[in-house]
Structure 1
C-alpha cells in the first residue's frame, strides 16, 4: 500500500526541488541533492530534466537574429525574401530547467515583430516539443518530434495549423502541415528553419532565422 506524501515532502517536491535542479543545471552539477532525490516518488523523478534537456543548453542566452521571411505572411516562395537584422532573441530556462522560454522581437520592413515560445524535451515520449505564440496569428503553433526520436540532430518537429492566410489566400481555413528544424552549429551559432506545405504543393521554406550569440 502506498503511503500518502506528507505536506512537507510535497512542498519540497513542488517548490524546493525544481529550484535546486535549475541551480544545479546552471553550475553543471546534478539535478538535485542526493538525499532529496532519494525521497522523491518515481512519478516525479521521471519528470526531472535529463540529457535531452541538457543538449539544449547551447540555445540559452541573448542572440542577434538574421531573419528571413520566404513563403509566409501571405508571400509567395518565389518572391524575394524579406530580410531583417533588427531582431533579437532572449532564451532562459524556466520551471526548474524543464523548458526554454524564447522571446523574439524586433522590426521587419519597419513593422514590429514579436514571438514567444517554449521548447522542451518529453522524457516519456523521448522527443522535443515546441509551442509558440506570436503577434500575427490567433492560433498557438505546436510542433513535436517523432515519438522515440530522442536527442536527434538536427532537431526536427512537425505540426499542423488552420491557416488564416499566412501561407497565401488559397490556404485560408485549410489545415497546413508545418515543420521546424533546429540546426545547432556550436555554442554561439544556430539556425531555425520553418517550413509549410501549402495545399496541393510541396514543402516550402517559410522563415529562416540565423542566430549569433550576443551574451549569456
Structure 2
C-alpha cells in the first residue's frame, strides 16, 4: 500500500513538473516599451478630458490690461489621441474672437525619460508652432511650462523679429474648471499676462 501511494505521488509530481516545463513563459515587456508606458504623470491630465465652454480674455493684439478682448463663445474638446494608448492628449478650440473665426489645436504629453510635460499648439494667427515644456511636479495643483517664440507682431510692431520668452500655467481649480494663463516676457521687460482662458465643463 505504501509503495503504491509513493508511486502515485511520484507520478503526479512528474506530471506537474512536465506541465510547468511545457507551459509558455509570460513574455517580459521590453525596456523600451516599459519606459514609454503611461503612468501617474499621464493620469494627472485626466481631468482635462471632456467638452468645455471657454471664456478667453486677451491682453495683447488689440487688448490691454485695462480693457482685454473677450470671447465667450469658444468651445473646447479634449481627448486622448486614438491609437497612442493614453500617452498624448489633444485639444481643439473653435469659436469667434475679435470679430473673426478662432481656431487652435494643441497636443499635451508627458515625456517619461525627460520627466517633463511637453505642449505644442498651432492656431489660425501664428505661422509658427508654439512649443513649451515643464517639469512633472506631480504634487502641484498646476502645470507650469515655458518656451520661446520669434514675434511676428502680436505684441506690436516694435517687437517684430524679437525672441519672446513665454510661459503657460494650467491651474486645476476643480474637476470641472481650469484656468490657463499665457504669459510673455519681452527682452528687457517684466513678464506680462497675455491671455487667460477659463474652462468650464459642459
State whether TM-score is above 0.5: yes
Q: 1:38 to 1:52 in 2, by over 3 A?
A: farther
SS at match of 2:173: strand
Contact kept? 2:44, 2:138, Cα under 8 Å: no
Alignment root-mean-square deviation, CA: 1.8
| Partner Cα distance (1:143, 1:159) in 2 | 5
- Identify the residue that residue 181 of structure 1 maps to in structure 2: 169
**Superposition pairs of residues 120-159 of structure 1, within 5 angstroms:** 120-146=109-135, 149-150=137-138, 152-159=140-147
Q: Name stretches of at least 5 consecutive residues in structure 2 with no aligned partner.
A: 1-23
Aligned to 2:57: 68
Structure 1 contact 161–175 (Cα < 8 Å) conserved:
yes
What is residue 13 of structure 2 aligned with on the other side?
none
Kindly provide the CA deviation profile for residues 94-141 of structure 1, in whole angstroms up to 9, marking residues without a partner as x.
121101100011001221110000001111111111000010001000
How far residue 170 of structure 1 moved from its aligned partner, in angstroms, is 1.1
Q: Identify if the C-alpha distance between structure 1 residues 88 and 76 changes in structure 2 by more than 3 Å, giving closer, same or farther.
A: closer
What is the count of residue pairs matched by the alignment?
Answer: 176
Whether the 8 Å CA contact 1:167–1:196 is kept in 2: the answer is: no
Instruction: Identify the structure with bigger relative contact order (alpha carbons < 8 Å, sequence gap 6+).
Output: 1
| Larger Rg belongs to | 2
Using the size of structure 1 for normalisation, the TM-score is: 0.77
TM-score (norm 2): 0.82
Alpha carbons of 1:63 and 1:76: their partners in 2 closer, same or farther (altered >3 Å)?
A: closer
Q: Quote the offset at 1:187 in angstroms.
A: 1.2
